Amino acid sequence: MLQKIWKDNILWDRKDEDNMKMKFLNCQFSYAAAVFVCIEYADVVRVNLSAAKSRVAIAKVKTININRFELLAATVGARLCKSVLRALQWDNVKQHYWTDSITVLGWSQREELWSVFVNNRVQEIRKMTDPTFLKNLPGAQNPADVPSRGCSAHQLFSRWWEGPKSLLHTEENWPVTNPALKNSLF
């Protein structure tokens, strides 16, 4: 945004904030990933944010669409989870991966010939994760959407720091959210 301000020769005291905000919002996309650690002991579950990463991408290429940004978020999430596991020195811990994108879920779980962009990221995700543990989470429950959509202080506390409410239950009580992907088009 700073480059845009300099390029447009905008003075520091200029009152054209609304126009600049619209330009800023129209020229970028953001995506994020979050890693939550769930510890279950005696049927009590504790969930805490362990790590998070968000990225802002200037959309210069027309081929970058929302599904590809969701795939980038899944890739960042897989990398971030691997980093957390390495930092905590956890070798044998059960991992679950969630995305609110049915398309990313399909790309990750189906063997197809995707475009180079999609294929490279899907292969990276598969190397770091077990795609059978990739599940769908409705966007309204996805804490990784908080950085890209904004939220109130209450939502930040409950969604970002504590994660999806469904994680507060034992694993066998999590909602089944994997749609049938066999006949879907991607």
Distance CA(165)–CA(167), nearest Å, equals 5
DSSP 8-class letter at 91: S
Residue 125 lies in a domain: yes
Residue 5 lies in a domain: no
DSSP 8-class letter at 110: S
Q: What is the pLDDT of residues 12-24, one digit of tens each?
A: 565 555 555 545 5
Residue 106 lies in a domain: yes
Q: What is the pLDDT of residues 147-176, one digit of tens each?
A: 667 677 777 777 777 788 888 888 777 766
Most confident residue range from 45-59, 113-127, 137-151 = 113-127
DSSP bridge partners of 136: 99
Residue 153 lies in a domain: yes
Work out how many domains the chain is built from and give that number. Answer: 1
Please count the residues of the chain: 186
Average pLDDT over residues 6-31: 59
Residue 114 lies in a domain: yes
Grade residue 71 by pLDDT with cuts at 50, 70 and 90: very high
Query: 110 CB contacts (<8 Å, ≥6 apart)?
Result: 181, 186
Q: Whole-prediction pTM value?
A: 0.76
* Mean pLDDT (the chain, rounded): 79
Of 91, 119, 98, give the one whose Cα is nearest residue 47.
98
Of 152, 93, 99, give the one whose Cα is nearest residue 160.
152
DSSP bridge partners of 148: none
User: What is the extent of the structural domain holding 86?
Assistant: 17-181
Take residue 66 and report the two structure tokens written for it: 């929302």
DSSP 8-class letter at 157: I
Average pLDDT over residues 124-152: 81
Q: Are 4 and 23 in contact (CB under 8 A)?
A: yes
Residue 71 lies in a domain: yes
Residue 67 lies in a domain: yes
CATH number of the CATH domain containing 92: 3.30.420
The helix/strand/coil state of 55 is: strand
Q: Distance between the two ends of the chain, CA-based, in angstroms? A: 34
- CB count within 10 Å of CB 81 equals 21
In this model, does residue 186 exceed pLDDT 50?
no
Of 141, 83, 152, 72, give the one whose Cα is nearest residue 107.
72
